[in-house]
Each structure stands twice: as structure tokens, then as C-alpha cells.
Amino acid sequence: MTVRNRGALAALAAGVAALTVATLVACGSQPAEDVGADEAAQLATATPSAAGTEGPSVPVTTGELPAGAETVKPVRLAIPAIDVKATINAVGINKRTNEFEVPPSVDEIGWYRYGPGLEADAGSIVIAGHVDSAQQGKGAFFRLRELDQGDTLTATGSDGKAREYRVVAREEYDKTKIPLDRYFARDGKPRLTLITCGGPFDAKARKYRDNIVVTAVPA
């Protein structure tokens, strides 16, 4: 065997090694598969009104000015499986961006105050939190993507009552394709929707590509 041949062989071996490492890394960094996507979609289908064919008369209401409805705000969230104990702020919309106003402190999470509260018998209660931040490090929902079907969480309301929920789905969506209308629905079965960021990180834009969405139902 010539020197030239040995050099070629070494190059081939190094190439194979490099590609093997690259393949292993690529496989290892795949996100966990979605679970329960069908269940989550099912929850969002509006419950057909049973009153469709019954009822003796036209509904009549007194035309009083609408008063503020009593909403039970979620104030604390505990998720033992991923060591989350976080304070919940009532938040709305960022006027500049028209996006969900996630609390700036990564230790706190935000409840979408325009949607249903904990007392609601229909619709999606939405709570979003940071996965992390460049300045503050890991956020309250850093490990949200580790949640699995059957994990439990406890949301405590402004009425002091703790309510148990059970995870039924964990999904990851490209932010440009996430069906937000389904997660911000005010109809369908009562459910708790937790949202954070995930997927590949674009270091230039300082943005994650995806949203992680966990759906839970009353336990």
C-alpha cells in the first residue's frame, strides 16, 4: 500500500466518523413527538347545543346594561412533574405587536384575561410563560415540553380553590402554522392550555421557531 493510498484511507475514515457523529447529534436533538393531538382537537369542537330541537319559546332577556361577569382568575399553578410553582398574572394583548402579553419576569406566567376563567364550563383557559430569556435564564415553562399524558397540575383560583387538571396532549407547532383560534376558543369542552416556546432557536433573530402547547382537562 502506498503512502498516497494510506492518506486517502485516513481521509475516508475521518469523513465517515464526522458524518456518524453528525447523524447521532441530529437524531438526539429531535424534539419529542407530539402526543394527544387528536384528543386536543376533539376538545375544541363546539358542543352541539342540546337545545336545538327542544324548548317551548323564544328566549327573552331584560335589556339591562351588561355588568362585569364574575370570573375566577387563576393565581397559582403547580406542576409537580416538572417542578413548576409559579404565580399567574392576568394579562392581555401587547398593543404594539397584537401578541399575547407574556409577563416579562420569566418566573411568572400569564393568564389570558379575555378568555374563560377557572369557573368556565366551556372554552380554553390559556396560560403562557417563558421557556427562557437571554437576560434572566431559564423560565417557569423551561421544562414544559417534558410533560406527558397523565401528568397532573393544580391551578388555584382567586377564590382560593385548587382545581386539578390532567394532561391529555403535548404538541409542537411552527409559530406560523399554530391553530391559535382553537387554543383561544371560548367554546368546546372546558380545558387548560399551556403555551411556551420551543423548537430550533434562531440566534440572530433571538426567536424560537415553534410553540409548545400542552392541553389539560379537569381531572
Partner 1 sequence: MQLSYFRRVAAGGAVAALAFAGVGAFTATPAYAATSKVSVVHGIPDTPVDVYVNGEKTLDNFKPGDVAGPLNLEEGDYDIALTKPGEPIGSAILKVDNAAVPGGANISIAAHLDAAGQPKITPFVNDVSKVDAGKARLIVRHTAAAPAVDVRAGGTPVFEDLTNPNEAKGDVDAGNVKADVVLAGTDTVAIGPADLNLKEGTATIVYAIGSAEGKTLDVVAQTITGLHSSPGGVPSGDGGQAGTGVNTWWYALTGAGVLLLLGGGVRMATARTGRK
Measured in degrees and rounded to the nearest 5, phi and psi for residue 187 equal: -130, -175
Min CB(60)–partner 1 separation in Å: 5
The span from the CA of 187 to the CA of 9, in Å, is: 65
Q: Which of 66, 70, 160, 177 binds partner 1 (CB under 8 A)?
A: 66
Query: 3-class DSSP state for residue 24?
Result: helix
Using rule CB under 8 A, residue 139 touches partner 1: yes
The span from the CA of 47 to the CA of 43, in Å, is: 9
| Per-residue binder mask for partner 1 (CB under 8 A), 17-56, x = binder | xxx-xx--xx--xxx-------------------xxxxxx
Binding piece for partner 1, criterion CB under 8 A, among 14-22, 37-45, 73-81, 161-169: 14-22
Using rule CB under 8 A, residue 204 touches partner 1: no
Q: Which of 62, 70, 160, 177 binds partner 1 (CB under 8 A)?
A: 62
Size, binding site for partner 1 by CB under 8 A: 86
The span from the CA of 197 to the CA of 49, in Å, is: 35
| Per-residue binder mask for partner 1 (CB under 8 A), 79-118, x = binder | -------------xx-x-xxxx-x---------x-x----
183 to 202, contacts with partner 1 by CB under 8 A?
183-184, 186-187, 195-201
Min CB(53)–partner 1 separation in Å: 6
Q: Which is nearer to partner 1, 66 or 160 (CB)?
A: 66
Regarding beta strands 124-129 and 191-202, do their DSSP bridges make them parallel or antiparallel, or are they unpaired? parallel
Q: Which of 33, 69, 70, 160 binds partner 1 (CB under 8 A)?
A: 69
CB 118 within 8 A of CB 216: no
The span from the CA of 119 to the CA of 74, in Å, is: 10
Q: How far apart are the first and last CA of the chain?
A: 71
- The whole-angstrom distance between residue 6's C-alpha and the CA centroid of its chain comes to 55
